[in-house]
């Protein structure tokens, strides 16, 4: 389905300085039983966020009112493990439009791009600067410009460019998705299908 | 530009429908496997767009992720799981897709039944909304896991849009030691590369160790490719592959077989073809492996001690948090740690060979009293073989029961959940926090290590039990 257009995001950020955050942590398997894309945000980081009796764990960042914003900042190798797109849905449903890390797992990155959450990969040094800026001031704002492919720590003015291919950039800017594209070249595909051996 | 191509290049390039400049390739998909958990929203998307499945005959659906592993003849109790299963069946019927639901003779874990029925073939592109789709790479196919948006894409257009990954070859030379299984080879590689060491790459496994490996073993290795971050892993098809594939329900027959063979025999990496990265390990140095942390890269030879935070790659605080969760300390030995659960199964180690290996250790012994064991075949075909080969009798005599096929405690979406704090030796693929149930602690290992733990009640080097057997 087509999604919101992404242009410039100027917001505070939520820090999660843990490495290898896998999609089982982002959303545990027992919450994958829905048949519609609704309500996954409630269970984002379920077992880090809530005790088994459902009470919030005070020390988890999402339960700390100091931290809010539309950017989630994670440690290296964010989104590893299971291919469940529900992880990206949960991130989106919780109000995040951008995830920043120094390294993303492939499938999670692709899933984010497919639903309109921008994965921004920065250097390990810049990631530390972002964490430091949030630690110094939880209200510190960041600007993510898709057009300029640049993320800026507004408090210090420091910025770093990030990569995204032109095709995906166009999709995100215009709120298009891949199926729109593929349906447009359907005849090519049908022609190709005739020649496949298997 | 060099005309020498890798196995991966040959298969990928021949499936590119269209190339987008500074963007992804449009890749044609030969086989699409669908299961109940990652497909409902994709089918809903089709409905909303008012479009049909483009190639239902290339699409196969099975129920496995949230199915119970006992009393499958009864209605599924959990209403949410039951609803997902019903949706899959309805969607399969609506769009004319083969559906192997609960109770169907061909039902089983998607990555186990695909190869069993010949849906998986060399040189094919295969996707499924499950990251362990990499399993099918064992046949020289390009196979990888996709998200639900991509499931919808493939249903709608039989294509996917992906940038071509970089290439890596991992060579394992020499012979494996006694008691070292394909699972150990895979856990060893992941421990060397870490869980992100192959991110962005598609891996080819090569060398003597893989040449002499059975198809089941190759599937175990390729299955675990995703655990080092790779999109997938593949092994060039050879006589072992062709022999396995021949005569299965969905494999080509007669003249079509000859045509297919002509294609399949071209599927190898040309001498001199270049990889973006190449690694070589000595297979004889690999020990039976076990994990001690909360990702599959945190593994070591079973006789070793848990490394100190200072000696590992990555951040010390994440490492310590992981050990804290596992309730282990730096420098601990794993041998002798008391365990509570054993899980034999999953698309990693739920095939007949895995049950043979497990039985070879427990034969004539008894399950330890402190251990709850879940033995879950990957499919009905595996279940039937367990019975036919007399393995069931061996297991029963040793105090084990066999459950019905499904993913089970691999992801614990059904009732097979390891309780909080309990320690499980598991032949599955992920030891993430809570993967096998909230608060569960998982040690990943081979079926031999799992069997040794099941009969001794603690982490035990299986070679000890095997050597006694030999003596
Ligand atoms: S056994 Fe585990 S990894 Fe394999 S398909 Fe099922 S849930 Fe996925």
What is the per-residue pLDDT across B379-393, written as a single tens digit (0 to 9) for each? 999 999 999 999 999
> In which element (H, E) is residue A142 found?
strand A142-145
Given CB atoms, is B411 within the 8 Å cutoff of chain A?
A: yes
**Ligand 1 atom closest to B35 (CA):** 5
Burial of B277 (0-12, 13-18, 19+ CB in 10 A): middle
- For the stretch B5-42, pLDDT in tens is 999 999 999 999 999 998 999 999 999 999 999 999 99
Buried b (16+ CB within 10 A) or exposed e, B118-129: bbbbbbbbbbbb
CA B469 – CA B462 distance, rounded (Å): 11
Closest-CA distance of chain B to residue A156, Å: 26
Domains and CATH numbers, chain B: 7-277 (3.30.499.10), 289-463 (3.30.499.10)
- Cα distances (angstroms) measured from residue B234 to each of A66, A92, B170, B378, B446: 47, 34, 10, 21, 21
Say which residue the tokens 């790479």 belong to: B137
Give the nearest ligand 1 atom to B410 CA. Answer: 2
Count Cβ neighbours within 10 Å for each residue of B178-214 and write b for 16 or more, e otherwise: ebbbbbbbbbbbbbebbbbbbbbbbbbbbbebbeebe
CA distance B26 to B158: 10
Return the pLDDT at A3.
73
Strand order in the sheet with A8-11: A8-11, A142-145, A150-153, A158-161
In chain A, what residues touch B22 (CB-CB under 8 Å)? Answer: 165-167
Among the partner residues B17, B55, B295, nearest to A188 by beta-carbon distance: B17
Angle among Cα B334, B336, B342 to the nearest 5 degrees reads 80
Q: Which two tokens stand for residue A1?
A: 């389905």
Neighbouring C-alpha atoms within 13 Å toward the C-beta of B49: 20
Kindly report whether the global pTM for this prediction surpasses the value 0.90.
yes
For ligand 1, atom 6: residue with the closest CA: B407
Other CB atoms closer than 10 Å to residue B252's CB: what's the count?
18
**Are residues B392 and B416 in contact, defined by beta-carbon separation less than 8 angstroms?**
no
From the list A82, A167, A182, the residue facing B153 with the nearest CB is A182
A/B interface, count of CB pairs below 8 Å:
200
pLDDT tens, A116-168? 999 999 999 999 999 999 999 999 999 999 999 999 999 999 999 999 999 99
How close is the nearest chain B Cα to the Cα of A157, in Å? Answer: 27
Report percent pLDDT > 70 for chain B. Answer: 99
Q: Do B413 and A30 touch (CB under 8 A)?
A: yes
A147 CA to middle of ligand 1, Å? 39
**What distance in angstroms lies between residue A61's CA and the mean position of ligand 1's atoms?**
30
- The angle formed by the CA atoms of residues B454, B458 and B460, to the nearest 5 degrees, is 85
B135 Cα nearest atom in ligand 1: 4
CB-nearest partner of B24 from A75, A167, A198: A167
Domains, chain A, in order of start with CATH, read 8-195 (3.20.19.10)
Ligand 1 mutation pick, B428, B432, B437, max ligand atoms within 8 A of CB: B428
B299 touches chain A (CB under 8 A): no
Nearest protein Cα to ligand 1, atom 4:
B347
Please give the average per-residue pLDDT across B182-193, as a whole number: 98
Indicate if the pLDDT at residue B64 is higher than 60.
Answer: yes
The per-residue pLDDT for range A7-33, each reduced to its tens digit, is: 999 999 999 999 999 999 999 999 999
Question: pLDDT value at position B250?
Answer: 96
A138 φ/ψ angles, rounded to the nearest 5 degrees: -60, -20
| Most ligand 1 atoms within 8 A of CB, residue of B65, B113, B126, B225 to mutate | B65
Residue B85 pLDDT? 94
Considering only CB atoms, which chain B residues are within 8 Å of A165?
22-24, 163
Give how far A96 is from chain B: nearest CA, Å. Answer: 18
Residue B421 in contact with partner chain A when CB distance is under 8 A: no
Q: What's the gap in Å between the CA of A62 and the closest CA on chain B?
A: 18
Distance CA B28, CA B17 (A): 6
Q: In chain B, positions 141-170, which contact chain A (CB-CB < 8 Å)? A: 145-150, 152-153, 156-159, 161-163, 165
- At B218-252, the pLDDT tens digits run 999 999 999 999 999 999 999 999 999 999 999 99
Three-class secondary structure of residue B87 per DSSP: helix
CA atoms within a 13 Å half-sphere pointing along the CA-CB vector of B128? 34
Mean pLDDT (whole number) for B172-190: 97
User: Does A184 touch chain B if contact means CB atoms closer than 8 Å?
Assistant: no
Cα A47 to Cα A146, B73, B192, B195, distances in angstroms: 33, 33, 29, 22
Place B451 in a pLDDT band, splitting at 50, 70 and 90: very high
pLDDT score of B471: 42
Q: CA angle B391-B394-B395, nearest 5°?
A: 85
pLDDT bin (cut points 50, 70, 90) of residue B364 is very high
* Residue showing tokens 């949960």: A90
Residues of A in contact with B18 (CB under 8 A): 185, 188
pLDDT in tens, B308-329: 999 987 788 899 999 999 999 9
DSSP letters for B225-267: GGGGT-SEEE----HHHHHHHTT-TTS--HHHHHHHHHHHTT-
Question: Residue B441 C-alpha to ligand 1 middle, in angstroms?
Answer: 18
Distance, CA of B296 to CA of B294 (rounded, Å): 7
Over residues A50-71, the mean pLDDT reads 95
Burial class (CB in 10 A: 0-12, 13-18, 19+), B355: buried
- Ligand 1 centroid–CA B111 distance in Å is 8
Place A196 in a pLDDT band, splitting at 50, 70 and 90: confident
In which element (H, E) is residue B83 found? helix B79-95
Radius of gyration of chain B (CA): 21
Instruction: Report, as an integer, the average pLDDT of B189-195.
Output: 96
Whether the per-residue pLDDT at B121 is higher than 50: the answer is yes
Question: Is A111 at the interface with chain B, CB within 8 A?
Answer: yes
Place of tokens 């999604």: A3
d(CA B46, CA A112): 20
Closest CA to B62 of B89, B24, B31: B89
Residue of chain A whose Cα is closest to the Cα of B415: A30
- Average the pLDDT over A49-64 and give the result: 95
Distance CA B431, CA B399 (A): 26
What tokens does B166 get? Answer: 């970089």
Smallest Cβ distance to A179: which of B157, B412, B420? B157
Task: State the pLDDT confidence band at A34, using cuts at 50, 70 and 90.
Answer: confident
> First vs last Cα of chain A: how many Å apart?
30
Cα dihedral sign, B263-B269-B271-B273: positive
Coarse DSSP helix, strand, coil percentages of chain A, rounded to the nearest 5 percent: 40, 20, 45
Tokens of A26: 């982002």
Q: Mean of the pLDDT values across residues B349-374?
A: 98
pLDDT at A1 over 70: no
Count the helix, strand and coil residues of chain B and give each as a percent rounded to the nearest 5: 40, 20, 45
| Contacts B315 to A, Cβ<8 Å | 19, 75-76
Q: Predicted confidence band at A198 (pLDDT cuts at 50, 70, 90)?
A: confident
What integer best gives the mean pLDDT of chain B? 96
- Taking only residues 378 to 397 of chain B, the set having a beta carbon closer than 8 angstroms to any beta carbon of chain A reads none
Picking from A175, A179, A118, A177, the residue whose alpha carbon sits closest to that of residue A4 is A175
Task: State the pLDDT confidence band at A4, using cuts at 50, 70 and 90.
Answer: confident
């Amino acid at each position: 389905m087509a999604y919101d257009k992404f242009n410039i995001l100027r917001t505070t950020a939520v820090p999660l300085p843990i490495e290898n955050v896998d999609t089982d942590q982002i959303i545990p398997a027992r919450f994958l039983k829905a048949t519609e894309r609704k309500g996954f945000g409630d269970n984002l980081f379920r077992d880090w966020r809530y005790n088994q009796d459902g009470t919030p764990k005070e020390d988890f960042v999402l339960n700390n009112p100091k931290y809010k914003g539309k950017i989630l900042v994670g440690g290296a190798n964010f989104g590893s493990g299971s291919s469940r797109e529900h992880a990206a849905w949960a991130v989106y449903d919780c109000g995040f439009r951008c995830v920043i890390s120094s390294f993303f797992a492939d499938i999670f990155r692709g899933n984010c791009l497919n639903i309109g959450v921008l994965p921004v990969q920065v250097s390990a040094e810049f990631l530390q600067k972002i964490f430091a800026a949030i630690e110094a001031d939880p209200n510190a704002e960041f600007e993510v410009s898709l057009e300029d492919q640049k993320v800026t720590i507004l408090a210090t003015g420091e910025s770093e460019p990030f990569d995204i291919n032109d095709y995906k950039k166009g999709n995100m800017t215009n709120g298009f998705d891949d199926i729109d594209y593929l349906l447009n070249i359907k005849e090519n595909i049908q022609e190709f299908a005739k020649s496949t051996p298997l | 530009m060099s005309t020498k191509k890798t196995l991966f290049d040959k298969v990928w390039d021949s499936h590119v429908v269209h190339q987008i400049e500074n963007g992804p390739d449009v890749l044609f998909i030969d086989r699409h496997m669908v299961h109940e958990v990652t497909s409902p929203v994709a089918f809903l998307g089709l409905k909303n767009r008012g479009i049909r499945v483009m190639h239902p005959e290339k699409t196969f659906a099975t129920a496995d992720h949230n199915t119970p592993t006992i009393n499958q003849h009864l209605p599924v109790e959990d209403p949410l799981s039951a609803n997902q299963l019903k949706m899959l069946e309805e969607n399969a019927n609506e769009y004319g897709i083969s559906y192997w639901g609960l109770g169907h003779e061909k039902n089983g874990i998607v990555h186990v039944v695909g190869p069993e029925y010949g849906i998986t073939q060399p040189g094919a592109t295969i996707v499924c909304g499950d990251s362990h789709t990499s399993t099918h790479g064992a046949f020289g196919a390009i196979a990888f896991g996709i998200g639900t948006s991509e499931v919808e894409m493939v249903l709608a257009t039989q294509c996917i849009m992906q940038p071509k990954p970089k290439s890596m070859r991992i060579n394992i030379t020499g012979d494996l030691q006694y008691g070292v299984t394909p699972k150990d080879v895979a856990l060893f590689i992941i421990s060397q590369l870490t869980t992100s060491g192959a991110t962005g790459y598609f891996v080819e496994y090569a060398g003597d160790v893989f040449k002499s490996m059975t198809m089941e073993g190759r599937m175990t290795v390729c299955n675990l490719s995703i655990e080092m971050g790779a999109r997938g892993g593949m092994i060039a098809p050879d006589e072992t592959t062709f022999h396995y594939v021949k005569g299965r329900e969905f494999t080509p027959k007669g003249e079509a077989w000859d045509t297919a063979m002509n294609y399949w025999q071209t599927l190898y990496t040309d001498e001199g073809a270049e990889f973006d990265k190449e690694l070589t390990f000595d297979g004889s140095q690999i020990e039976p492996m076990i994990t001690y942390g909360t990702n599959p890269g945190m593994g070591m030879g079973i006789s070793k001690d848990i490394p100190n935070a200072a000696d590992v790659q990555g951040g010390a605080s994440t490492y310590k948090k992981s050990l804290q969760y596992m309730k282990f300390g730096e420098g601990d030995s794993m041998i002798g740690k008391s365990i509570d659960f054993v899980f034999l199964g999953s698309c990693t180690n739920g095939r007949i060979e895995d049950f043979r290996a497990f039985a070879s250790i427990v034969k004539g012994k008894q399950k330890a009293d402190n251990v709850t064991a879940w033995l879950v075949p990957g499919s009905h075909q595996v279940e039937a073989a367990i019975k036919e080969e007399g393995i069931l009798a061996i297991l029963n005599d040793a105090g084990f029961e066999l459950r019905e096929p499904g993913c089970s405690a691999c992801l614990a979406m059904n009732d097979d959940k390891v309780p909080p704090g309990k320690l499980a030796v598991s032949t599955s693929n992920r030891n993430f926090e809570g993967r096998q149930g909230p608060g569960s602690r998982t040690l990943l290992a081979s079926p031999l290590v799992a069997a040794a733990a099941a009969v001794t009640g603690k982490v035990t080097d299986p070679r000890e039990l095997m050597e006694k057997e030999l003596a």
